[in-house]
Copies of this chain bind each other. A is one copy, B any other.
Amino acid sequence: MNNPLIKLSQRIGYSFNDESLVQLALTHRSCGNKNNERLEFLGDSIVNFVIAEALYRKFPQAKEGQLSRLRADMVRGTTLAEIAREFELGEFLQLGSGELKSGGHNRESILADVVEAIIGAIYLDSGMAVANEQILNWYESRLAGLTLDAVIKDAKTRLQEHLQKSKHRLPKYEVTEIFGQAHDQKFKVSCWVEKLPEITVGIGSSRRFAEQSAAEKALKALGVE
């Protein structure tokens, strides 16, 4: 194995049996027909699955819509490019002369694609169990830092943005009930939205959580989720 590939193996924590796979994974389409796009196609589906399962198991209470949003965050180009930058993958890329001149080594989409292509290459080299382990290692801190709150919190913002975009009035939230024991209070919040025939109602352990839940239901009623 040549020197750059040894360095790459150390960074990503995986050493290829078949060097030609990683060479291909690092080759951008600007180099010609033999490039990493097919590996990227394969790797994309693998990272989607691995993250889907990780989220499914980590959040047994999460609804499908929440899991989908969390996954979209995890597998979007920005996140994949971040991973590429952590491994400093840019220096290993094979780019055509045009991309070289225009700074392709640091372009987000190129970096994201390379991460997916490397995942595809690891899968072909060593199978799903190893690819799974690698992906979970690379995502370890990101997955550990995830909370469902981060998703739920977002519903109010999404509702507001949706209504602003469609030129409707902003939603109105109102606490309609507080119940339960002092150490375990629940808040009931109603959410009024101009476009909806009925208010939606959320219940939560804080006013904010209840509002988020009501906003989530309004989004669903609007078909936005």
A residues at B contact (CB < 8 Å): 37-38, 40-42, 44-46, 48-49, 52-53, 56, 62-64, 67-68, 128
Contact = CB atoms under 8 A, between A and B. Distances in A.
Contact of A52 (B45, B53, B67): B45
Nearest to A44: B52
Given A38-B56, A38-B62, A40-B64, 6 more contacts: A38-B63, A42-B53, A45-B45, A45-B48, A45-B53, A128-B128
Nearest to A68: B41
Nearest to A59: B38
A56 B63 CA distance: 32
Contacts of A46: 49
Which of A49, A56, A62, A68 has the most chain B CB within a 10 Å cutoff?
A49
Which of A40, A44, A48, A52 has the most chain B CB within a 10 Å cutoff?
A52
27 contacts: A37-B63, A37-B64, A38-B56, A38-B62, A38-B63, A38-B64, A38-B67, A40-B64, A41-B52, A41-B56, A41-B64, A41-B67, A41-B68, A42-B52, A42-B53, A42-B56, A44-B52, A45-B45, A45-B48, A45-B49, A45-B52, A45-B53, A46-B49, A48-B48, A48-B49, A49-B49, A128-B128
Q: How many copies does the complex hold?
A: 2
Contacts of A56: 38, 41-42
A46 B132 CA distance: 13
Which of A40, A62, A128 has the most chain B CB within a 10 Å cutoff?
A128
A73 B40 CA distance: 19
A67 B37 CA distance: 10
Contacts of A52: 41-42, 44-45
A223 to B, nearest CB: 13
Nearest to A67: B41
Contacts of A62: 38
Contacts of A45: 45, 48-49, 52-53
A4 to B, nearest CB: 25
